[in-house]
Amino acid sequence: MAYALQQLINGVTLGMIYGLIAVGYTMVYGIVGMINFAHGDVFMVGSFLSLIALLALSALGITSVPLALALTLVFAAAIAALYGWTVERVAYRPLRGSFRLAPLISAIGMSIVLQNFVQVSQGARVKPIEAIIPGGIHLMDQGGFAVQLSWMQMAIMAITLFILAIFTWLVTKTPLGRTMRACEQDLKMASLLGIDTDRTIGLTFVIGAALAAVAGFMFLLYYGVIDFYIGFIAGIKAFTAAVLGGIGSLPGAVLGGLLIGLIEVFWSAYFSVEYKDVAAFSILIVVLVFMPTGILGRAEVEKV
C-alpha cells in the first residue's frame, strides 16, 4: 500500500510535467491544425536557460532562493518565448499556404537545429544541479517503507493546475481567447472579419513556448539533471498525452499527461522498466481504437 501510494505521487508529478508541455502542443494545434514538433526542444532549451540563469545568479551572489527562482523563471520563459516566436516565423509562417506536410517537415528540421545548437553550445554531457527545494511531508510508514511528498512535487502539481485554470479562462473568457477560437474554426474567415491572424498565431506560439519553459524549469528542479536530448523524449510523451487526452482540449492535455505519467511509473515499479514506453503507447492505441478523438476531444466538423 505504501509503495503504491509513493508511486502514485511520483506518477502524478511526472504526469503534470507532461501535461504542461502538452498544453503548448494542443494550443498550437487548435489554431493552425498542425503539430509543432520543435515544441519538445523548446522545453529542453527552457531547462538549459533555467540552469544558466541559476548559475549566473549564484555567481552574482544572490542567495535568496525565492528571488533566484522567480528571476530564473521569468528569464527562461521570456527567452523561450522568443524561441517560440522564431520557430513560428521561420518554420511555419512562410509555409502556411503550402501542402500540410511542408510545415511538419520544417518543424522537425527546427527540432534538429535546436538539439544540435544546445549540444554544440553547452556540450553533450549531462548537466547536474544540487537540490534547491529539499524536504517535504512524511505521510506514512509501512513495513519500513516511508511515503514522502516533497515540496517540489507539491509545487509542480499546484503550478500546473494553476496554469491550466488561467489558460482555460484565457481561451474561454478573454478577447484573445475569442480570436484564438475564431482562428481555430476558420482561419480565412477570421482574417476576412478583421482578425490579425498572424498576430494571433504568433502569440499562441509565444505562449506555448513560455509554458514549455516553465515545464523545463520544473523538470530541472525536480530531477536535477538535464541533457540536450531530453526535449525529444519529453516532446514525444507530451504529444502522446495531448492525443490521448484529446488534441485541442486544454484539460484533456493535462489529463493525458497524468495518464502517461501514471502508466510509466506504475509499469516501471511493478514490471520491466525497459517496456514502460511500450505500455504507454499500447494504452494510447487501445483508447484511440474506441475513442478516436481522445478522452476529451471533439469530433472535427468538415467545413464545406
Query: DSSP assignment of 173-218, as one string?
Result: HSHHHHHHHHHHH-HHHHHHTT--HHHHHHHHHHHHHHHHHHHHHH
Question: Which single residue is written with the C-alpha cell 523561450?
Answer: 80
Spell out a b/e string for 104-118, using b for 16 or more CB atoms within 10 Å of the CB, else e: bebbeebbeebbeeb
> How many angstroms separate the CA atoms of 29 and 227, rounded?
27
Query: Is pLDDT of 278 > 70?
Result: yes
**206-258 pLDDT, tens digit each:** 998 999 999 999 999 999 999 998 988 888 888 888 888 887 788 888 999 99
Quick count: other Cβ atoms within 10 Å of Cβ 185? 12
Cβ atoms 21, 212 nearer than 8 A: yes
Quick count: other Cβ atoms within 10 Å of Cβ 154? 15
CA separation, residue 229 to residues 11, 42, 173, 222, 257 (Å): 21, 11, 37, 17, 20
Tell me what the pLDDT averaged over the chain comes to: 86
Most confident listed range (40-54, 95-109, 281-295): 40-54
> How many angstroms separate the CA atoms of 138 and 148, rounded?
5
**102-136 pLDDT, tens digit each:** 877 888 888 899 999 999 999 889 999 888 888 88
CATH code for 2-124+137-290?
Answer: 1.10.3470
